[in-house]
Amino acid sequence: MDFLSYILQQFINGLQLGAVYALIALGYTMVYGVLRLINFAHGDVFMFGAFTAYYLIAKWDVPIYLVFPITMAVTALLGFLIEKIAYKPLRSAPKIALLITAVGVSLFLEYFLSLESLFTPNYIGFPRPFEVTGYELPLFTVTNVQIIIFAVTALSLLLLYLLIYHTKYGRAMRALSHDREIASLMGIPVDGIISFTFIVGAALAGLGGILYGFAYPQINVFMGIMPGIKSFIAAVLGGIGIIHGAVLGGLIIGISEVFVSAFLSSTLRDGVIFFVLFLVLLLKPSGIFGKWIDKV
């Protein structure tokens, strides 16, 4: 019984981490869909979201219900600017040039923001605007942080689903990821939709940043690297370009990471995640929900 409740407890903790990964993975998967680019800077947008929330809560005492929209707006703006300044001039350049630029943008954001006069390279305590309380259920305990994370993630997924499958913008995005040239021939404003995709993805990453700060209240300018890479792996695992695939992949990665930490060793968890990546790439590179294709 104890063992069962321990496993369930770890499962809940894994879902908490996985929900954050899912929010980041959505941005990767959408950007990959429209631009065929691994946006390495996405993890840093997530980091920027956490820092924005930190400044709003700790320095300027903004009420919590305003922290969410303001942070998402700020990261959306950052995502928009990254695309306009760094990626747009390279629209016709070779794919690898775009990828290297993405790595460059990511490094720039990290090291620029880690300057002493900006965010500093140190770990900073993230202030939760509320006390953490646990609710004892028969088999496991769930905290209010976890409830907030699950609720916010579920709500944003619902909204994203409506956006992508039930609006004109969503249809344009899907058309673009299907075939950019034909989409532009059909009168879709390609540049506008790409910007829009970055905005939505970056807003979700900002949301992920806030929730991550609530759950693991230690933030640092380099905090986005590993969650960013793992979320990308989550997107690949679920099938890149597929919305529900990114969510499922995020949850799987989060849960397996927590289980490896709990039962094997916390220093090995990154290794296990990458082992999972290798397996996916070798067995079914198109991911869980992807179509069978010969090569990626």
Residues that bind another protein (CB under 8 A): 36-38, 86, 89-90, 93-101, 103-108, 110-112, 114-116, 121, 225, 229, 232-233, 236, 265, 267-268, 270-271, 274-275, 277-278, 281-282, 285, 295-296
111 or 123: whose CB is closer to another protein? 111
Minimum CB distance to another protein smaller for 130 or for 274: 274
Give the dihedral of Cα atoms 71, 123, 38, 84; nearest 10 deg.
50
Q: How far apart are CA 295 and CA 279, in angstroms?
A: 15
Closest C-alpha to 255, from 1, 4, 2, 20: 20
**Closest CB 247 distance from another protein, rounded Å:** 19
| Contact call for residues 25 and 254 (beta carbons, < 8 A) | no
β-sheet bridge partners, residue 141: 136
Q: Which is nearer to another protein, 186 or 268 (CB)?
A: 268
Q: How far is the CB of 225 from another protein (least distance, A)?
A: 8
Residue 5 tokens, joined: 């409740």
Nearer to another protein, 30 or 277 (CB): 277
Least CB distance from residue 151 to another protein, whole Å?
A: 31
Q: What H or E segment, with its residue span, contains residue 114?
A: none
Minimum CB distance to another protein, residue 48 (Å): 16
Q: Whose Cβ is closer to another protein: residue 101's or residue 146's?
A: 101
What are 98's two structure tokens? Answer: 């775009």
Min dist CB 87 to another protein, Å, is 10
* Dihedral over alpha carbons 219, 225, 231, 233 (to 10 degrees): -150
